[in-house]
Structure 1
C-alpha cells in the first residue's frame, strides 16, 4: 500500500472541498444545474458558469471565473503571509463571502476575519447631483434589467446569515457591516485588509469603498472590482487610481471583473 504524503493529502482535500463549495454556491456542476430545481428563466449553462445570470436560488451571482479569482487572491496572501482580513462590499446573498470563509477554513486559518458589508436593503437612492453617472439607476432601462434577473436584489441580513449557517460557515470569523457604505465604512472597525472585493455597481458606492478601504489594504494585497464593465463603476475606479497615482496594472478576470495588486503601503 502506498501512503500519500500528508501535505499532498491536505492539498487534495482542500481542492475537493473548495470545488464542491463553488458548485453548491452557484448551483452549477460544470455541465448542468446542481442540487437545485430547474432554472425559472431560460439561460444557457455558459451564462450561469460565467456569472452573466445566476440560478434563482444561488448564493452568488459572480460565476466560476470570479470565484476562482477570489480563491487565487486569498490563497496568495495566505501563502505569502500578507497581513489583513478579507472584505466584500456589496454581497447579495453572501456567497462570495461564504467562499472566502470556506478558504480560510480549508487552510485552517483562525486569525483572519471575513467582513460582509452591505445595506441588506438594496441600492441607495442615487445622488445624481454629486454623482451624475448614477442617474442610470433611476431609469426604466435599469428597472427592466433588474426585473429580468428573476430574483430579488435586496436580501435581508437574516437571510444572508441563514445561508452562511447552512454551510457551517457562520462563526466569530464572520462580521457584518450593515448599512450604506457612506455610513458604515468610514468608522468600520477594520484595521487592515489583505483582500478587498467591491461589488457596489454604482459610481458612488465604488468610489466610497475605495476611499475608505484602500488605505487599509496591505502592500501585496489585492483589490478586486466586480462591475468594471459598468460605466459609472469604471469611471470611479479610474478616477480614484488617477487621483492617488495608483499605477499597478489592472488585470482582467472575465467580461466584467478586474483586479490589481497593491505594490506600496
Structure 2
C-alpha cells in the first residue's frame, strides 16, 4: 500500500503525536517511521522479544505496539522492552564529530549531551494502553548487564551516537533470531557519522549486509544463526 493512502497509519500517527507530545517531523519522519513499521510487520510470524533503544517521547514504541495489537488484539506490551537514559543523549565523542562539509557544522557534533530528553513518566503515560512493557532506564550498555538471556525478533536502535549504537548492536545482534531485523534510525544521516561507523565496524568484518535506505536508516536482516 502507498504510505500516502494508508489511512490506518496516518490515524495512528496522529494519535501518537498527540499522546506523546512528539514533534512532527513531517514528510521525512513519516517515511522513516513507515519504513520501520514495514520491517516490524516482516517479523510478526517469528518468535522473540522486541526492543527499542532510544525512545525519546515514545512515538515509535506507541506505533509499534499498536501494530502488534493489530496482529494480536489482546496484545498488552508483553515482550516489549524499552531502553533509554531518559536524560537525553550522552556526551558525543570524537567519532560523532561531523566531517562532511555538506552538513554545515563540520568539526563538531550535531547535538550535545542532553538533547532529545524525554521523561520516563511521560513516556509511560503515553504507552499506558500497554502495561506489560518493560522500561529499562539507564545508560547503554549498563542496562544490558542484568537482563535474562532471551531471543529477539526486532530491534530499533535510535541512539544517534557511536558508542551506544555499537554497544546496542553488539548486544542484540547475537541474540537476534533467524529472520529477525535490526533497524538503525541514523545509519545514513550525515549529521550522525558515529552511527554509521558503529554499524560498519561491527558488520563489515563479519560479512553482515547493511541495507542503506534513502530515508537514512540502516537495516540488518539476520539470515544465519551462526553469523
Give the structure 1 partner of residue 181 of structure 2: 222
Alpha-carbon deviations, 1:10-35, whole Å to 9, x = none? Answer: xxxxx7544311233346xxxxxxxx
For the residues of structure 1 that align with 2:140 and 2:70, how far apart are their CA atoms?
30
Task: Provide the TM-score with structure 1 as the length reference.
Answer: 0.68
- What pairs up with 1:189-208 in 2 under 5 angstroms? 189=148, 191-208=150-167
Report how far residue 140 of structure 1 moved: 9.4
Give ranges in structure 1 of 5+ residues lacking alignment: 1-14, 28-35, 40-44, 51-62, 147-151
**1:134 match:** 96
Cα deviation, 1:188-228, whole Å, max 9, x if unaligned, reads 23611111111111110110000111111111011101111
User: Following the alignment from structure 1 to structure 2, what is the Cα–Cα distance between the partners of residues 68 and 185?
Assistant: 28
Counterparts of 1:82 and 1:195, CA distance in 2: 9
Other-structure match for 1:156? 119
The partner residue of 1:48 within 20, 26, 45 is: 26
Unpaired stretches in structure 2, ≥5 consecutive residues? 1-5, 99-105
- In the TM superposition, what is the alpha-carbon distance from 1:232 to its structure 2 partner? 1.0
Note the C-alpha offset of 1:257.
1.4
Residue 264 of structure 1 is matched in structure 2 by 224
TM-score, normalised by the number of residues in structure 2: 0.79
Q: Is the 8 A contact 2:211 2:220 kept in 1?
A: yes
The structural deviation recorded for 1:170 is 3.0
- Residues 16-55 of structure 1 aligned to structure 2 (within 5 Å): 16-26=7-17, 48-50=26-28
Instruction: Work out the number of aligned pairs and report it.
Output: 205
Rounded Cα–Cα distance in structure 1 between residues aligned with 2:211 and 2:78: 26
Q: What is the alpha-carbon distance in structure 2 between the residues aligned to residue 156 and residue 68 of structure 1?
A: 25
